[in-house]
């Protein structure tokens, strides 16, 4: 096995009390995060976009292959094309593909096939997953792609919230139109569509609740 290079790790260290305070503060901050579908047209500073995407790129990945591509779409014409294609698929979903149970679960959230936010938001981040890399004409396999890209998207959503912006996760199905509109290569497949921006003035969001610890947390001591 070939030798691998290492560097010294400099751990971040806090006292027990600081850890309690910081973890509680972070939880309460993240608990304020909500899915938002109404956006201001205020542009996002490019440096902010760069920083939140740099943060997403720090996520762990299988064999450190980092099998993701983030496409940043701000062009109005391109956003319009994405909206039109997404609404075409979503119309089919809501009228022909989704089960009654699925529609009932979505009803409290007030969603339908109209996706105005795809043009309203100043920026769309389209996340692509790469099952393999292309090195010349040779395919190089990536590992745990779904899990790795999912982790990167989690980092991205936290970074968006931390920057004071809002977002939503949109998963039109099928999503192949994103590959076509953005002219992405064959080894990249759409994973997630994330409109981001500043919230519109005086918006309302669904009154939802989060699971209590006893509903999702199991300790083995």
Query: What pLDDT, on the 0 to 100 scale, is given for residue 206?
Result: 86
> Is position 2 within any domain?
no
Query: What pLDDT, on the 0 to 100 scale, is given for residue 21?
Result: 98
Query: What pLDDT, on the 0 to 100 scale, is given for residue 33?
Result: 95
**pLDDT, averaged in runs of 10, over the chain (221 residues):** 82 96 97 94 96 98 97 98 91 80 80 89 98 90 97 98 96 90 96 97 89 95 95
Sequence-distant (6+) residues with CB within 8 A of 175 are: 89, 189, 190, 193
Against a cut of 0.75, is the pTM above it?
Answer: yes
> Is position 104 within any domain?
yes
The CATH number that applies at residue 147 is 3.40.109.10
Contact 194, 156 (CB under 8 A): yes
> Is position 160 within any domain?
yes
Domain interval for residue 55: 36-201
Tell me whether strands 132-135 and 123-130 are parallel, antiparallel or unpaired. unpaired
> Is position 18 within any domain?
no
Query: What pLDDT, on the 0 to 100 scale, is given for residue 146?
Result: 97
Sequence-distant (6+) residues with CB within 8 A of 194 are: 124, 125, 126, 127, 153, 156, 157, 160, 167, 168, 169, 170
> Is position 215 within any domain?
no
> Is position 207 within any domain?
no
Query: What pLDDT, on the 0 to 100 scale, is given for residue 102?
Result: 79
> Is position 189 within any domain?
yes
> Is position 122 within any domain?
yes
Query: What pLDDT, on the 0 to 100 scale, is given for residue 2?
Result: 61
CA–CA separation, 62 vs 76, rounded Å? 35
User: 63: alpha, beta or left, given left = phi > 0 and alpha = psi -120 to 50?
Assistant: left
Total domains in the fold of the chain:
1
Query: What pLDDT, on the 0 to 100 scale, is given for residue 114?
Result: 84
Query: What pLDDT, on the 0 to 100 scale, is given for residue 1?
Result: 57
């Amino acid at each position: 096995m070939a030798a691998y290079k290492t560097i010294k790790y400099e751990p971040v260290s806090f006292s027990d009390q600081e850890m309690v305070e910081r973890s509680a503060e972070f939880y309460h901050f993240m608990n304020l995060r909500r899915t938002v579908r109404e956006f201001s047209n205020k542009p996002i500073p490019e440096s902010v976009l760069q920083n939140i995407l740099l943060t997403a790129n720090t996520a762990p990945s299988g064999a450190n292959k980092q099998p993701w591509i983030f496409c940043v779409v701000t062009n109005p014409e391109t956003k319009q094309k994405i909206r039109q294609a997404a609404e075409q698929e979503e119309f089919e979903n809501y009228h022909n593909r989704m089960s009654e149970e699925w529609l009932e679960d979505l009803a409290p959230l007030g969603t339908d096939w109209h996706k105005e936010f795809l043009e309203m938001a100043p920026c769309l981040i389209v996340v692509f997953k790469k099952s393999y890399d292309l090195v010349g004409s040779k395919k190089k396999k990536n590992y745990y792609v779904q899990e790795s890209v999912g982790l990167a998207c989690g980092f991205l959503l936290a970074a968006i919230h931390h920057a004071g912006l809002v977002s939503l996760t949109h998963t039109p199905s099928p999503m192949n139109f994103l590959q076509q509109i953005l002219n992405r290569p064959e080894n990249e497949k759409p994973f997630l569509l994330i409109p981001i921006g500043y919230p519109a003035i005086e918006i309302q969001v669904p009154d939802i609740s989060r699971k209590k610890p006893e509903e999702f947390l199991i300790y083995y001591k």
